[in-house]
Each structure stands twice: as structure tokens, then as C-alpha cells.
Structure 1
Amino acid sequence: MKKSIVLTSILLIFSISEICACSCYKKSVTENYKGADLVFTGKVVEVIEQRVIDSIPTANKLNPFKIRRYRRVEFKFKIIKLYKGETDSEFVSIYTTGGISDCGNYFQLNSKQLVYSYFKDRRLNDWSTERKVKPYLSTTTCSQTKELRRVKRKEKRKLKKLSGIK
């Protein structure tokens, strides 16, 4: 029995080709606010999930492209309160991978959230600086975006002070 557990563990370790994990440190409300382009509270009114297949150029002449698959989720929010940034609509879309291990957020339909978001000009899950796309808003678990009911009064007061809201 013990041999089979060890053998299975070894096989699993060597069969994993790519591991992604999210690691972040807890930032203060001020750091989160200053690092964000758009900070708001909002209600999720629509969730659109897509499976994306993408190719990444490699240096390997025999295999010039690496194919990767990932999830891309658009969360459409109705803004309740805007703390930072500008928008020309009462609705805003936030794009993320929807995963936890890759730092993406997933929001339940009709949930209310405090969102610290920022503009990105690279594809989701793409750290190459050469493949630019039209800027879009995104967020991560590291931004301390969270359900509105989990936001402490102290954080709300700090956001009001930072944004100049009375």
C-alpha cells in the first residue's frame, strides 16, 4: 500500500508540466486604492464565460507555437458607488480568468462587490510585453476585491476619505 502511494505521488509530480499559483501580500487600503484605475462598489448583472485557445510563439523550430487553453470571464457590473476613476456608463465590464490559483476572481451573479480594478493591455494569462491588445479592466485576488458584505467599516471610511466623498 505504501509503495503504491509513493509511486503515485512520484508519477503525479513528474506529470505536471506547468503549475500556476497565486501569491500576494496583503496591501493597505491606500496601496490598493493608489494602484487601481477604477475603484467601485457594484452588483454583478451578467456573467459571460468563454474558453479561449491561444498560441504563443516559442524559440523551438520544430514546435514554433505552444497552444494553451484558459478561461476568460466577463463580469458586467452595475455601479453602485464610484470611488476612483471615470466611466461614461453606469455599467462596467471586468475581465478575469475566474480562477483562484492564477489570481483571477470569480463573482456570483447578483452579488455585490467592492472592486479594485486596473487597465491591462496584454491578453489574460499572458506575461509577454510584446503582444498588446486594446486596454480592458481586470482585477485579481491580490487586489483585495471582495464581497461588499465582507468590507469593514474602517475600509469604507478610508475609501471615502481617499476619494473625497462626504
Structure 2
Amino acid sequence: MRVSHVMIIGLMFILLLWWKPLEASACSCIMPPPPEDALDQADAVFSGEVVEVIENGKLVGGYGKTVHFKVDEVWKGIDESEAVITTGLHDGDCGIPFVKGQKYLVYASKSDMYVKNTLSTTICHRTTELAYATEDLNALGEGQEVSSSEEVIDEDEAVIPWLTFVIFVVGLIAIFIAFRYKKTRS
């Protein structure tokens, strides 16, 4: 009985050494700078509509949320019609509660805060819903419109993946039939 107690205690000790507490973070920031200064400090400034919000998992190597935007106007740092940024899950970790379908004015900086080497925005930036960004839009002036560079997929290109799949399945069926035939002949 003593050996089993020692083994249980040893196992618990090993588990305690292996276990580590979850990271915790709190958000504290001063008033954001005026729009002109915020533009200078940011790596990217754009307006756009939220297309998708995805919660990052620890297994993916990230924290917070990844937000996909359809970009309308750009003042700095973005040259495509789509942008991806990261932010926290909620106010306690500086996150912005982005809502799918809403339009925002986004100030973002390159950061490792939520996911390594991504553009991130927080409540410490001037990021806000576009409806509440009048002061910023007046100060920033007119942005540059981004042309939608949606790729037009040729019908032949769309068929290639299906054709590859069909050839693969037919090949598997042929191999299966060949093995069955060889087995029945033996």
C-alpha cells in the first residue's frame, strides 16, 4: 500500500510540474492620440466591413480574435481589398468587440500581442465603428479607394480540382479491383 501512495504522490507532483497556469492580461492605456498622430503611429489605417470574426485557439499558437475585413478606403499600409487583423477577446485584454457586417475605421500596428507578426488593434488605438469616426474622417481627409481584385476563376481552372479527385478515386477503385482479382486467382 505504501508503494501505491508514493506512486500517486509522485504522479501528482509530476503533473503539478507539468501544469502551468493560463496567461492573464489586463488592459490599461491612456487617451488615444489625435487622429493625425494616430495615423503616424499606426502601420495600417483603413475603413472596411467585418466579413468574419474567428476566435484564435491556443493550439493555433495565438490568442484573441482574428478579424477579416472587406476594405473600402485606405490611408496607410494596406494595398488589397481584404485585410486581416487581430485583437483581444474583450475589454480586459484590450480587445475590440467587432461585429460581423459592421463597418469600422481601423488603426492597426504590427504586433506579437495576439498572434505573432500580425497587424493588431486594441481599445488603446482610435479604432471605432465608422458611424462614430466623424472626427477622424474629417482629420484624415479622403482615403484611397481600393479596387476589388476578386479573382475571376476560369471554368477550366474550377474543373481541375474535381478532375484530379475523380482520377484519384478511379485509381483507388482500380487498385482495389486488381487486388481482389489477384486474390481470387490465387
Q: What's 2:121 paired with?
A: 139
Question: Are 1:108 and 2:114 counterparts?
Answer: no
The answer for unaligned runs of 5 or more in structure 2 is: 1-22, 146-186
Q: What is the SS of the residue equivalent to 1:106?
A: coil
Q: What's 1:156 paired with?
A: 137
Q: What's 1:13 paired with?
A: none
- Which residue among 50, 73, 79 is the counterpart of 2:71? 79
Q: Work out the CA distance in 2 between the residues paired with 1:24 and 1:38.
A: 20
| Structure 1 length-normalised TM | 0.64
The answer for unaligned runs of 5 or more in structure 1 is: 1-16, 56-69, 126-132
Aligned CA-pair RMSD: 2.8
Question: Are 1:90 and 2:81 counterparts?
Answer: yes
Q: What is the SS of the residue equivalent to 2:57?
A: strand
Q: 1:103 to 1:92 in 2, by over 3 A?
A: same
Deviations 1:1-41 (A, max 9, x none): xxxxxxxxxxxxxxxx9662323223111111111011000
Q: CA deviation at 1:136?
A: 1.0
Q: 1:101 to 1:22 in 2, by over 3 A?
A: farther
Question: Are 1:26 and 2:32 counterparts?
Answer: yes
Deviations 1:49-92 (A, max 9, x none): 1332699xxxxxxxxxxxxxx842110000010111233x2101
Q: Work out the CA distance in 2 between the residues paired with 1:164 and 1:86.
A: 10
Q: What is the SS of the residue equivalent to 1:98?
A: coil
Q: Which has the higher helix share?
A: 2
- Aligned pair count reads 123
Identity of aligned residues (%): 28
- Which residue among 44, 47, 50 is the counterpart of 1:41? 47
| Structure 2 length-normalised TM | 0.58
8 Å Cα contact 1:52/1:72 also seen in 2: no
Moved over 6 A (4+): none
Q: Work out the CA distance in 2 between the residues paired with 1:39 and 1:148.
A: 12
Q: Work out the CA distance in 1 between the residues paired with 2:60 and 2:144.
A: 43
